[in-house]
Amino acid sequence: MTYSDEEIKDRLGKYGSVYLPEEIIESVDDILGNRVKKERLEDFFKALKKYEDMIEQLKKTKLNPNLTVLLYGPPGTGKTSLTRAFSKKYKIPICVVESDRLVSPLLGDTIKNIRNVVELSADIAEENGAFILFFDEIDAIGSERSNIHEVGEIKRAVISFLQVIDKINYEGVPLAIFGATNHQHQLDSAIWRRFTFHLKFDFPDYELRKTIIESFLKKIEDADIGVDDSIYDKLDIEIQKIQKIHRQLEAKLGREISEFDDNLLWNEVNKKSDINGLLKLTIGYSGSDIERGTRVALFKVIHTGIMTYNIFYNSLQLVGGTAVHVQTQDVLSASSRSERSSERYGNDTPKTSGPPEI
């Protein structure tokens, strides 16, 4: 007997949020960039849809794939959103498990919760077909067991989690288990090995940031709110300058470099140009950070009637980037981080003088 949508939500709801495909808002195309990750997840979800029909043949090979994916990287870079979007595309329900609902101060309850949520999801998958169980902040139940600061309960939770994953994989249940973490270095090595796919999510580079910024501005225009053309003009000028310096630097070094390679590009930009626009401001910003900045700007735009460059710049500066908050050393140089932090946190209101010209 299959589980009804109401039963699934009722029984799994105490562990997190259950999303039926028709309830998911975002689409794969809404999440910009991430081309390689999208290709990997496309293959994974196609296989998941056919997994039930192929399981008996796969068992004969003794190579039936483990339906496990680990997503890691800074917060706000699309780990949960992209998985949810693929769930919508392939019409597969998903439960996003929240770690604070699993971890309990009562002895044994954490282990019981882990087993319950996985076994219930496996039962749903066996009865209804493909299902996704997404563990957000999986490091909460999968921390390195050798860490001297971890108590016995967490160590037993790691073992329990490993056991239930092995059981699901062995039995060939069409249950995909995803784990997401912002603290991949804290994960137990055995947790890493249980996940077949490891997909790293990064901060968007300057070219993708330009695309993301323009996509949010387009949404504002679609809502019949004015956007000053100077924002687009200054973005175009800024990216052309950065791209030129980028090409020159790669020619000088004789190799390709990314924006985040030891700050080589931005050190060169600072030496050769007075660029100080939106793309430089948003180094180490996630797509979510840019979205938050856009939302802040809208509060001002409601009164002014038009999104200007200064309003947008000041709003993005006010919300700050994730890299600053998580102290990502390889994204921001110490000098630029210190300068921007003092500006950002020294005053609770945006600067009224406006941003420097490009």
Tokens found for residue 103? 């971890």
Q: What is the pLDDT of residue 154?
A: 66
Same domain, 248 and 319: yes
Whether residue 52 contacts residue 93, with contact meaning beta carbons closer than 8 Å, is answered with: no
Same domain, 20 and 140: yes
Give the N- to C-terminal CA distance of the chain in Å, as an integer.
64
| Of the residues 200, 222, 247, the one at which a domain ends | 200
Tell me whether residue 356 is in a domain.
no
Tell me whether residue 351 is in a domain.
no
Q: What is the pLDDT of residue 81?
A: 94
| Helix, strand, coil % over all residues of the chain, rounded to 5 | 60, 10, 30
Same domain, 143 and 276: no
Same domain, 113 and 211: no
Tell me whether residue 141 is in a domain.
yes
Sort strands 16-19 and 94-97 into parallel, antiparallel or unpaired.
antiparallel
Domain count across the chain: 2
Q: What is the DSSP string of 185-202?
A: GGB-HHHHHH-SEEEE--
Same domain, 105 and 171: yes
In terms of Cα–Cα distance, which of 121, 51, 52, 65 is closest to 93? 121
Q: Count the helices and strands in the chain (H runs, E runs).
A: 15, 8
Q: What is the pLDDT of residue 171?
A: 78
Distance CA 332, CA 335 (A): 8
| Of the residues 152, 168, 200, the one at which a domain ends | 200
CATH number of 16's domain? 3.40.50.300
Same domain, 217 and 185: no
Tokens found for residue 39? 């290709």
Same domain, 195 and 334: no
Tell me whether residue 355 is in a domain.
no
Same domain, 218 and 318: yes
Q: Which domain holds residue 123?
A: 5-200
| Of the residues 185, 200, 215, the one at which a domain ends | 200
Distance CA 265, CA 271 (A): 10
Run of H or E including 99: helix 99-102
Distance CA 124, CA 141 (A): 23
Same domain, 279 and 135: no
Q: Could you list the pLDDT tens digit for every one of the 358 residues in the chain?
A: 788 999 999 999 999 999 999 999 999 999 998 999 999 999 999 989 888 777 666 666 666 668 999 999 998 899 999 999 999 999 999 999 998 888 877 667 888 888 999 999 999 999 999 999 999 988 877 665 545 444 566 677 788 888 888 888 777 789 999 999 988 888 878 888 889 899 999 999 999 999 999 999 999 999 999 999 999 999 999 999 999 999 999 999 999 998 888 789 999 999 888 888 999 999 999 999 999 999 999 999 988 889 999 999 999 999 999 887 655 444 444 334 333 333 333 333 333 334 443 3
Same domain, 302 and 326: yes
Same domain, 227 and 339: yes
What is the value of pTM for the model shown? Answer: 0.80
Same domain, 190 and 233: no
